[in-house]
Structure 1
Amino acid sequence: MDKKVSVVMAACNGERYIGPQIVSILQQLGERDELIISLDPSTDQTESVISGFADSRIKLLHGPGQGIVNNIEHGLTAASGDYIFLADQDDIWHSKKMERILEVLKQDAALLVVHDCRIVDEALNELAPSYFMWHGTKTGFWNNLLRNSFIGCCMAFHRCLLNTALPFPKQLPMHDQWLGLIACKMGKVKYLKEPLIDYRRHSNNQSSL
């Protein structure tokens, strides 16, 4: 039987962009897979947009309302998949993202994969062709402890990582850096120099660039 995939998304006030992102994810999920959306209290119609999909693979949770890190943790705790993908509410997955990442997780003995992305504006106009190049991404535990290059929406990993990474330490500043550093200590981290999402930047992003 094929392994199950859980995509975990933290959402809050995302009605403007979350619909197209959900579409780009659902197109790549199998029947057994799941999209877990942990929705923090919102003042817009995000919940209505999500509910409008009426897709049984979407699991909508009410988030704790304590910021993005706690919201991500809430979603990860509910994930039941063998492979875990993180997703932002306002990006767009490229059509081969899941296929490509699963190939690496299964065949390259990687515990965690982090891939490149194309940075775009609100209208999906390109701002930079490569986050890795723009950010000066470096590999290794110490490099990423000093200056984080792990970007959550570009990460996927084996479920076993959560056995060590959860629960998150209190006052954790960045969930993606924490997950990446734990993975560096536990096993192989693979960097893919392939842009597999459009990483949308706008005035209301929950995460910083």
Structure 2
Amino acid sequence: MIFISVCMATYNGELYIERQLKSILQQLDINDEIIISDDGSTDKTLQIIDGFADRRIKVFVNKKRRGPVGNFENALLNSCGQYIYLADQDDIWLPDKISTINSLLKNHDLVLADCEVVDQNGNLLQASFFEHRGSSPGFWNNLYRNSYMGCCMAFRREILDYVLPFPSKIHMHDWWIGLLVEAKGRVIFYEEPLIKYVRHGGNASPTGEVGYGFYRKFSNRLFLLVYLIKHLLLH
């Protein structure tokens, strides 16, 4: 039987964390786990998590680099599953997410699924992120116009051997993971939404770098490409 680790990074997510955990737990088997790395929440996030009293939920304090990159790395390092799912604290998983992706991971190293984009009240903003973004697989496609959002990703444990540790200057962990698996593994873009991706104004990163200026976008890609080339030459 496949053992699943859902890796979630939390920080002051009291408004959304209960709803998200409920949407995930109902899809997990008794031996699966949710690994939560918390980045020093000062609200009721940890109390809400403790209130579930579910032994599948395991909480670790992030003592690595602050922010989403270090927080997710801490979660990944504490995971044990054969299949690893990344999860944000504020989204909602649709009921068939795990069953659908598990079947795809039998023949692929990484699955990126589409999502519906909604506001904090559940109102639909975009029926398909893929359609809005013009998403398609390919290393250069996604270096130029990234579609790898961690909340929509799952992958085989084996890829951790070459994606970790995360370099210190990369912009986001999910972009790094996606491009490395594009270069070294087998990816599939699944063109049906499997989560409701919630945009509420306080998200850890803007969707697709919306809001970043030219210099920031250029430097993000430059650092990423330099680290990727170094990494691929060494591995």
Shared fold (TM-score, shorter chain, > 0.5): yes
Partner residue, 2:72: 72
| Bigger Rg over Cα | 2
Partner residue, 1:60: 59
Which whole-Å CA distance do the structure 2 matches of 1:174 and 1:147 have between them? Answer: 14
Which whole-Å CA distance do the structure 2 matches of 1:160 and 1:182 have between them? Answer: 13
Query: How do 1:137-152 residues align onto structure 2 when only pairs under 5 Å count?
Result: 137-152=135-150
Partner residue, 1:120: 118
* CA displacement at 1:192 relative to structure 2: 0.4
Which whole-Å CA distance do the structure 1 matches of 2:102 and 2:141 have between them? Answer: 26
Unaligned ranges ≥5, structure 1: none
Q: Looking at both structures, which has the greater relative contact order when contacts are Cα pairs under 8 Å and sequence separation is at least 6?
A: 1
Aligned with residue 182 of structure 1, among 180, 183, 187? 180
Residue by residue over 1:67-99, the C-alpha shift from the partner in whole angstroms, topping out at 9 and shown as x without a partner, is 111000000011100000000000000000000
What amino acid is aligned across from residue 79 of structure 1 in structure 2? S
Which whole-Å CA distance do the structure 1 matches of 2:28 and 2:71 have between them? Answer: 22
Please tell me whether residue 51 in structure 1 is matched to residue 50 in structure 2.
yes
SS of the counterpart of 1:38? Answer: strand
SS of the counterpart of 1:190? Answer: strand
TM-score w.r.t. the length of structure 2 is 0.86
Contact 2:68 2:172 in 1 (8 A): no
Residue by residue over 1:29-72, the C-alpha shift from the partner in whole angstroms, topping out at 9 and shown as x without a partner, is 11110000101111210000000000000011112361111000
Residue by residue over 1:147-168, the C-alpha shift from the partner in whole angstroms, topping out at 9 and shown as x without a partner, is 2111110000000000000011
TM-score w.r.t. the length of structure 1 is 0.97
* CA displacement at 1:138 relative to structure 2: 2.4
Query: How do 1:12-23 residues align onto structure 2 when only pairs under 5 Å count?
Result: 12-23=11-22
Query: How do 1:76-95 residues align onto structure 2 when only pairs under 5 Å count?
Result: 76-95=76-95
Aligned with residue 208 of structure 1, among 185, 188, 206? 206
Of all paired residues, the percent bearing the same amino acid is: 50
Aligned length: 206
Deviation beyond 6 Å, 4+ runs, structure 1: none
* CA displacement at 1:207 relative to structure 2: 2.1
Which whole-Å CA distance do the structure 2 matches of 1:52 and 1:205 have between them? Answer: 24
SS of the counterpart of 2:72? Answer: helix
What amino acid is aligned across from residue 14 of structure 1 in structure 2? G
SS of the counterpart of 1:118? Answer: strand
